[in-house]
Amino acid sequence: MISWPGLIAQLTEILLAILLAPVLLGWVNQCRAWMQNKSGPGILQPYRTLRKLFAKEAVLAHNASPLFRAMPYALFACMCLAAAIVPILGTDLPFSPAADAIALVGIFALARVFISLAAMDIGTAFGSLGARREMMVGFLAEPALLMVLFNASLISHSTSLTTIVEHLAHVEFVIYPSLAFAGIAFTMVSLAENARIPVDNPSTHLELTMIHEAMVLEYSGRHLALIEWSAALKLFVYSCIGIALFFPFGIAEGGDAAGLLLALPALAAKLAIGGFVMALIEMISAKMRIFRAPEYLGTAFLLAVLAMLIHLLLGS
Amino acid sequence: MPGALQLILGVILAWLALGLAGVFYPRNLYLVSRVLFPAGALGALALAAAALSALGGVTQSVVLPLGLPELPFHLRLDALSAFFLLLLGTVTAGISVFAAGYFRQGEGTAPGLQCLYYHVFIASMALVLLADDAYAFMVFWETMALSSYFLVTSDHAKAEIRRAGFLYILIAHIGAIGILLCFGLLHGTGDYTFDTMRAVQLAPLWATIAFALALFGFGAKAGMLPLHVWLPEAHPAAPSPVSALMSAVMLKTAIYGLLRVLFDLLHTQVWWWGVVILVLGLATALYGVVFSAVQTDMKRLLAYSSIENIGFILIGVGLTVTFQAYGMRALAALALTATLYHCINHAYFKSLLFLATGSVLHATHERALGKLGGLIHRMPWVAWLALIGTLAIAGLPPLNGFVSEWLLLQAFLFTPNLPQPYLNMLIPVAAAAVALAAALAGYVMVKFYGVVFLGQPREPSLATARDAGIWERIGLVWLAGGCLGLGLAPVWVIGVIDSVSGQLLGKTLGASATGWMFLTPISPDRASYAPLLFLLVILGVWALTWLAVRRFYHGQMHRAPPWDCGFEAQTARMQDTAEGFGQPIRQVFEPFFRMQRELPTPLDAKPRYRVSVEDHLWYWLYLPIVKFTQTISRVVTLLQRGRISVYLTYSFVTLLVLLLFVR
Amino acid sequence: MHLPLTSQIINLLAALLLLLSFSMLTQRRILSLINLFALQGLTLTLAILVVAWSTGQHHLYYSAALTFVLKVLVLPGVLHRLIRKLNVKWDVETLINIPTTMLVGIALVILAFNVALPISQLAGTIAKSTLGIALACVLLAFLTMITRSKAVPQVIGFLAMENGLVFAATSATYGMPMVVEFGIALDVMVGMVILGVFFFQIRERFESLDIRHLEKMKDE
């Protein structure tokens, strides 16, 4: 069942995801800077930040428990696993049977619980504030993401991500109205999950409005580097999920080498456009009050549920 | 070579003997904790082994010449009983070992008596699972209720605990009446053995009434909405091993009873019965999880979380009934597997967490979340083992809670077009509600673990907290190991469950087509999950990352005071309290609660903040019933005059009426 | 097995109509509400055009043109002028919070589809499966009217309801007779004019467009 080319393709994909993820983050930030009429730090800036952080000494609070120190590694491992099961270039993934769409949501939930617990570990006011807000975003974003994935599962009669992509990309062209709803829900969820405006602001320096940044305030050095890298990886994986569900054309079927080579520029183009759109959305919207966030995510969740109903209604 | 049933009966007798031994030496703590409880745990293991051997085998039955004349006890061991006995045996083994280190002198009832109630309780639960006639079932059911009542009220010096015990026994009895009436309907005109009931064909109307009574009776025991009110009172009141037993095993006997009546005794199923159970299950799950998010007492939080999990189990039962009624056997088997899997999962992680709270309670004498914190430093064993339970109950891969939720969601997702249009639309909405409740469970568990074990200690007295003793640790390790094992080897567990589905539905699931590592209940390209591979990848990446960071950079580190954006006057009271952590839920789900808030004004010299969250159902449903009962009893009290001659007149009039009518 | 492409496009447009109805239900800002209304009109026009093109029903082209002129150009323009004159472009809080409104909306969609199911099975048109959606749009627009306390959003809800009706007629019987359609269009126009006058009147009377003030008028 497991083939060598498949395994090689799989490992290449994971490495590609890990190495390229910071570029995507840099690209989004660069686009934002351009739109704000700034010159921007360049798309390679995340790498410089990572190198700086890795080289620095880690400073730990006196009462940090082993859980606190283990979290960045666990977070990074979770995101790598997520990158391993999402079809990025091709659909011949030996790891993919290990986890399907539901387990993918489970991985994100696991990462979220880890980071929230670590945020509460030091016992500072901001840490627990961040953990509480993160869980508040999570308890609606997680089922919303699951419902979005279920929409694709209903169409392809499978929860396996590779089968979903194969079905959507390579079976005859059909318009699925339910995916329009699911697409909007997914966009809303991915903005919230990746700590972007309108739910969170990645570049904020005002403690009281932070979510993600408040949780990782106590981290420094290599630990912070791993967390930042994981955040970039999460953005990358989310973008790839979006591509796989809504624009799967170009992802290679099976493991043929030519298809994989063609898939790479297609992926790069799609990610560039996706990152630009994300920056655009961030530019034209304002950050919400924190208690508007459940309303926003509740809307996304219900839209995803509605999409499943539409699928049943129209019977397509 | 005695059969499995004989072996199980032997274990039950041994338990009763251990209980009796406790009575003779009620104050001998050494005997009770070092001999009787460990022996009980060994018995539980033997019982589990016997049950496991009986799972694949033939049904055994025996008639005990006990009880009333002409009414002997019929006992029967089939796959369904064996599965729940397996659950009871393995979980009780862990709880008994823990109890060996838990019960102490001077905490309420004497240890010897506790030992008696405890062993009678587990023996009666085992016998409920074995009973094969209504008479025996009800006798054991009531024994179970009574023995657990004594365990709940073991700290009976406190008025609130007596109140909790009263509420518990009251609802247990109201439920028992429902079950009794249900058996009364089921037996037709024959005797009260289950064999007779299986042979009776009921008219649809009577079958529906019997179903409603069974749902009411067993639902009251399981904590189904709106009969759940006893659960958050009784579980915190009981000593922790007892809370664990009640939550892990006793609630499951109610599920066992429901399954027994629905699939074994009543053999017709109507699709809308399933919908009723499904909707009640959804309401129970959402309600339980929303309420557990706002609790400030760690055992109450876990009790509400038990309500939530019972909701999940009921959702599974509801789906099974609906699918079975429409003849979709494969999906029914999938839903039943999810149900039974969740039963055993909940038994493990909930008992693990209840026992962990027991250790915390003993070490700190605090149950209020607002006075705990930072225990991971003082009690590392309990904290790390509780972390496994926390992740499992939050439904996170690769632990066990995720597997059953995964199976349940698969059952929803692969529902084909059902003949009922409204039902068809209900399925996605229900799946969404399940996903929401599961995500909320994550919220609740982060709150539980974060507030109890992480952060800074909120009270100075916590600095002297001691970690659990060796017996308690063994019990916790056993249960945590169960959570891991059930999470990592789902194919094997489903193989065990398959014999139950085979018996009840005539169809098994067949967990895997591609080897023991991959769980593929339908077909490999439709859904697959390999928890072991999942765990290995995470651990592998973890190790590689760690090594790479050390290899390419360094492991330098130094300790400093917490940063917290440069705020120096940081104290433990600035962390989120349990109330604070639950605040978003209170705000988002405000209509669920009956809240009373007392907020300080900016000018208060001594600011006071108080919030109390209560249950609407108590006011909307229970208090009216109480008022109604009081009105009736006031009318009845008119008969009471206090004079002998009036009472004699009553007797005289009764006599005259009887003479006139009976003749 | 799969539906023909035109049917798929009609289904997609129907889904978009429903999506726009939901966005209108959850929108707080009056300006966005008007834009969404115009967008809904545009989607409706496209849907009618696709039906007209695929079935060759010529009168539907007129209907599409009428819809476009009235619902995309004239009415939104009038509404924009109106809110500029009345100076009421700020946010309006809904009476019930938004997720609850959406939950009710989902229940309405389920209801609408099940009610429309027997009718759409009778109809022989290519767009018959969208009848449930059309009915849902009508009900959602009604809900939009119920949950707003300000007059302008209520009027937009009323107009959106008419959109749903036109779509229902198109999908069930390829549109109403031309006379009826003109009649309805005229009704909407006249209704709009009367409501416009009415807005100015109630603002004169109460200094506000909050129709909760109308409660004071009872028994007077």
Please compute, for residue C44, the number of CA atoms within 13 A of its CA located in the half-sphere on the CB side: 35
Q: Is B562 helix (H, G, I), strand (E, B) or coil?
A: coil
Does B432 contact chain C (CB < 8 Å)?
no
pLDDT at C56 over 70: yes
Q: What residues of chain B lie within 8 A of the CB of A226, using their CB?
A: 545, 549
pLDDT at B646 over 60: yes
Band (pLDDT 50/70/90 cuts) for residue B304 is very high
Measured between alpha carbons, how far is C144 from A122 in angstroms, rounded to an integer?
48
Determine the pLDDT at residue A234: 95
Determine the pLDDT at residue C65: 87
**Percentage above 90 pLDDT, chain A:** 52
Q: Give C96's contacts (C-beta < 8 A, 6+ positions apart).
A: C104, C147
Determine the pLDDT at residue B628: 93
| Distance of alpha carbon B111 from the chain centroid | 25
Determine the pLDDT at residue B216: 95
Q: Which residues of A3-22 are buried (b: 16+ CB within 10 A; e: fewer)?
A: eeebeebbeebbebbbebbb
Contact yes or no for B421 and C114 at CB 8 A: yes
pLDDT at C14 over 90: no
Determine the pLDDT at residue A65: 92
What tokens appear for B108 in the block? 């309420």
Determine the pLDDT at residue A291: 82
Mean pLDDT over each residue of chain B, to the nearest integer:
89
Q: Give C177's contacts (C-beta < 8 A, 6+ positions apart).
A: none
Selected residue with higher pLDDT from C195 and B340: B340
Q: Pick from A51, A102, A204, A211 the residue to mutate for testing the B interface (most B CBs within 10 Å).
A: A102
Band (pLDDT 50/70/90 cuts) for residue B1 is very low
Residue A140: name the closest of A287, A290, A292, A294 by CA. A294
Determine the pLDDT at residue B483: 94
Determine the pLDDT at residue C217: 62
Name the closest residue on chain A to residue C108, using Cα atoms.
A306
Measured between alpha carbons, how far is B308 from B285 in angstroms, rounded to an integer?
4
The answer to whether residues C20 and C139 touch, using CB atoms and an 8 Å cutoff, is no
Determine the pLDDT at residue C72: 86
Distances from the Cα of B230 to the Cαs of B119, B147, B170, B304, B312, in angstroms?
23, 16, 9, 11, 19
Does C121 contact chain B (CB < 8 Å)?
no
The answer to whether residues C129 and C11 touch, using CB atoms and an 8 Å cutoff, is yes
Q: How far is A118 from chain B (nearest CA, A)?
A: 8
Q: Give C162's contacts (C-beta < 8 A, 6+ positions apart).
A: C184, C188
How much is the average pLDDT of A176-188? Answer: 90
Q: How far is A295 from chain C (nearest CA, A)?
A: 6
Q: What residues of chain B lie within 8 A of the CB of A93, using their CB?
A: none
Check residue B261 and report its DSSP letter: I
Q: What residues of chain C lie within 8 A of the CB of A305, using their CB?
A: 106
The answer to whether residues C24 and C36 touch, using CB atoms and an 8 Å cutoff, is yes
Please compute, for residue A42, the number of CA atoms within 13 A of its CA located in the half-sphere on the CB side: 5
Across the interface, which of B446, B514, B530 has its CB nearest the CB of A117? B446
Determine the pLDDT at residue C89: 64
Determine the pLDDT at residue B357: 94
Asked, as a colleague might, if the bond just before B232 is cis with ω within 30 of 0, I would say no
Find the helix or strand (DSSP H, E) in which B612 lies: strand B610-615
The answer to whether residues B237 and B165 touch, using CB atoms and an 8 Å cutoff, is yes
**For the segment C71-101, what is each residue's pLDDT rounded down to a tens digit?**
888 888 888 888 888 776 666 667 777 778 8
- Which of A91-95, A145-149, C1-5 reaches the highest mean pLDDT? A145-149
Q: Give A181's contacts (C-beta < 8 A, 6+ positions apart).
A: A151, A303, A304, A306, A307, A310, C15, C19
Q: Pick from B403, B491, B535, B557 the residue to mutate for testing the A interface (most A CBs within 10 Å).
A: B557
Q: Which residues of A99-134 are buried (b: 16+ CB within 10 A; e: fewer)?
A: bbbbbbbbbbbbbbbbbbbbbbbbbbbbbbbbbbbb
Q: Which residues of B639-650 are buried (b: 16+ CB within 10 A; e: fewer)?
A: eeeeeeeeeeee
**For the segment B251-261, what is each residue's pLDDT rounded down to a tens digit?**
999 999 999 99
Across the interface, which of A97, A116, A304 has its CB nearest the CB of B528? A97
Label residue B208 exposed, middle or buried (CB < 10 Å: 0-12, 13-18, 19+): middle
How much is the average pLDDT of C35-62? Answer: 87
pLDDT at B512 over 90: no
R_g of chain A computed on alpha carbons: 19
pLDDT at B347 over 90: yes
pLDDT at C1 over 50: no
- Dihedral, B207, B210, B216, B221 alpha carbons, nearest 10: -120
**Percentage above 90 pLDDT, chain B:** 50
Q: Give A137's contacts (C-beta < 8 A, 6+ positions apart).
A: A192, A193, A199, A200, A211, A293, A297
pLDDT at A51 over 50: yes
The answer to whether residues A226 and B545 touch, using CB atoms and an 8 Å cutoff, is yes
Check residue C3 and report its DSSP letter: P
Distances from the Cα of A188 to the Cαs of A196, A291, B443, B494, B623, in angstroms?
10, 16, 21, 38, 44
Residue C167: name the closest of C16, C24, C55 by CA. C16
For tokens 């059911």, the residue is B141
Band (pLDDT 50/70/90 cuts) for residue B382 is very high
For tokens 């959003």, the residue is C153
How many other CB atoms are there within 10 angstroms of residue C69's CB atom? 14
Residue B449: name the closest of B365, B379, B523, B504 by CA. B379
Across the interface, which of A302, A305, A313 has its CB nearest the CB of C133? A313
- Please spell the DSSP secondary structure of B291-316, one letter per residue: HHHT--BHHHHHHHHHHHHHHHHHHH
Least confident of B8-17, B74-83, B384-393, B583-592: B583-592
Numbers of helices and strands, H then E, in chain A: 11, 1
Q: How far is B419 from chain C (nearest CA, A)?
A: 13
Across the interface, which of A174, A305, A310 has its CB nearest the CB of C15? A310
For tokens 């709940």, the residue is B152
Chain A contact residues (CB < 8 Å to C): 172, 174-175, 177-178, 180-181, 184, 294-295, 298-299, 302-303, 305-306, 309-310, 313-316
Label residue A266 exposed, middle or buried (CB < 10 Å: 0-12, 13-18, 19+): middle
**Percentage above 70 pLDDT, chain B:** 98
| Distance of alpha carbon B619 from the chain centroid | 25
**For the segment A220-246, what is each residue's pLDDT rounded down to a tens digit?**
999 999 999 999 999 999 999 999 999
Name the closest residue on chain C to residue A315, using Cα atoms.
C129
Measured between alpha carbons, how far is C42 from C87 in angstroms, rounded to an integer?
26
Mean pLDDT over each residue of chain A, to the nearest integer:
88
Contact yes or no for A76 and B545 at CB 8 A: yes
What tokens appear for C150 in the block? 């300000």
Q: Give B20's contacts (C-beta < 8 A, 6+ positions apart).
A: B116
Residue A156 has phi, psi (to 5 degrees) of: -100, 5
> What are the sequence ranges of the domains in chain A?
4-314
Does C19 contact chain A (CB < 8 Å)?
yes
Helices (H), chain C: 5-26, 30-55, 59-67, 75-86, 98-122, 131-147, 151-173, 178-206
pLDDT at A101 over 50: yes
**B295 backbone φψ class: left, alpha, beta (φ>0; ψ -120 to 50):** beta
pLDDT at A160 over 90: no
pLDDT at B386 over 90: yes
Q: How far is A278 from chain C (nearest CA, A)?
A: 20
Q: What residues of chain C lie within 8 A of the CB of A294, using their CB?
A: 99
What tokens appear for A293 in the block? 């966030």
The answer to whether residues C82 and C30 touch, using CB atoms and an 8 Å cutoff, is no
Label residue C194 exposed, middle or buried (CB < 10 Å: 0-12, 13-18, 19+): exposed
Contact yes or no for B564 and A106 at CB 8 A: no
- ipTM reported for the complex, 2 dp: 0.94
Determine the pLDDT at residue B518: 81
pLDDT at B416 over 70: yes
**For the segment B514-558, what is each residue's pLDDT rounded down to a tens digit?**
677 788 877 777 788 888 988 999 999 999 999 999 998 888 888
- Which of B94-98, B637-641, C9-13 reaches the highest mean pLDDT? B94-98
pLDDT at C189 over 80: no
What tokens appear for B13 in the block? 């007798």
Determine the pLDDT at residue C201: 67
Q: How far is C109 from chain B (nearest CA, A)?
A: 10
What tokens appear for B459 in the block? 């009270």
- Please spell the DSSP secondary structure of B39-95, one letter per residue: HHHHHHHHHHHHHHHHHSS--EEEEEEEEETTEEEEEEE-HHHHHHHHHHHHHHHHH
Determine the pLDDT at residue C176: 66
Q: Pick from B425, B587, B589 the residue to mutate for testing the C interface (most C CBs within 10 Å).
A: B425
Measured between alpha carbons, how far is B357 from C116 in angstroms, rounded to an integer?
55
R_g of chain C computed on alpha carbons: 18
